[in-house]
Every structure is written in C-alpha cells, then in structure tokens.
Amino acid sequence: MPPKAEAQFTLLIDGYNLIHAAGLLGRGLGPGGLERARRSLLNQIANTLSQAERPRTAIVFDANDGPSDQPSRSRFREMWIYFAVQVPDADTLIEELIRANSAPKRLSVVSSDHRIQTAAKRRKSQFFDSEIWFQQQQNRQTRSGNPTKRKTFKPSHPPPEEEVAFWMKQFQDQGLFDKKRDKKS
C-alpha cells in the first residue's frame, strides 16, 4: 500500500499500456529497447505536463519487465514511477492506488484496460483510453507552442558493444549493411 502522501495523485497512468498506445515499441526491439521506450515515454509525459502536475502524477509499470536495478518506487522529473514488485501485476497496483486515493473524483486514470477503467468508475474517477489521452497531450503540447518530437531518444552515452553487434547483425541479415562496402576508411 502506498504512503498517504503519495495517495494524493491526480493523474495515474498505466505505463506499458500507454507505451503500446503511443507506438513507442515498434518491431524488433533489441537489447535495451524496452528501457529506451520507457524513458522516451516518461520524457514525453513530463514535457506535456506542467510543473504543478508532475509531482501529482504516478506512472505504473509491471516489475517483470522493469530494469533489475530499479527500486519499486522512484522519481523521474518529479513524477512518481512505480514498478509492481510485491503485487501480481501493474493492474493490481493501479487498483490499490485508486482505492488509496482520498480524493478519487479529482483523479484521472489513463489506461485502455477495462479492469482499470472499472476500478476508476467504481471510485468515480475520470478515466481515459491511453491512445486518446496521448493524442490529447500531443495536441496540448503543440497548442502551447512547445511541441515535443514523437519517438525521439538521444542517449547520454554510446550503446554497449553487444547492442551495436546485435544491430549490425540485424542489418547484415536484412541486406541493409555491407561490412566491406560501408567500412570507414
């Protein structure tokens, strides 16, 4: 159960559901791809929310797909990030967070999952389908004159050698890269 202070969220997001709805996964995720998609989503959400909205926002992910070194609860750009560690899945944790919220009528829940939408309805919280909410946020960002680029990710450091080797092999197998022809001189 979340601490009382954290139960005052006004925005609760089903993270992987939104990643899929936003089209951030693509096909053929290589090593580290899910982490990049997660980070891209978190940055996009943070960029569309106001400074006042971010600390009252929680984004929940399943723990079995989370990074092994990630704590069950952390902060990212003032938003709360949860990995469902001591519960069966993210949906269960989201339901707990909805139940724990002392002002559920002020809570907005983002998920296309009917189980979560039902839990939100039960507490008279607003709910939004992930795809619709994501598009509204993109439109909101564009109207504010500060558009974010969709699906952008700029790493802070070069990828690990294993990841480079993985993608080189993928491109070679597809005939998109010829080692001899494309080798730098």
- CATH number of the domain enclosing 104: 3.40.50
Asked whether residue 183 is assigned to any structural domain, the reply reads no
Q: What contacts 112, CB < 8 A, 6 or more positions away?
A: 14, 17, 21, 129, 130, 131
pLDDT tens figures, 95-112: 999 999 999 999 999 999
CA dihedral 44, 50, 51, 53 (to 10 degrees): -90
In 6-49, which ranges are continuous DSSP H helix? 15-21, 33-48
- Whether 174 is covered by a domain: the verdict is no
pLDDT score recorded for residue 99: 93
* Domain membership flag for residue 50: yes
Give backbone dihedrals phi and psi of 46, rounded to 5 degrees, phi first.
Answer: -60, -35
Q: Is residue 143 part of a domain?
A: yes
Residue 167 lies in a domain: no
Domain count along the chain:
1
Q: Is residue 184 situated within a structural domain?
A: no
Note the helical H segments in 49-124.
90-100, 114-122
pLDDT digits (tens, 9 = 90+) for 6-59: 558 899 999 999 998 888 876 666 677 788 888 999 999 999 999 999 999 999
SS3 content of the chain, % helix, strand, coil (to 5): 50, 15, 40
Q: Which has more confidence, 141 or 132?
A: 132
Range of the domain at 42: 4-148
Angle of CA points 126, 128, 130, to nearest 5°:
150
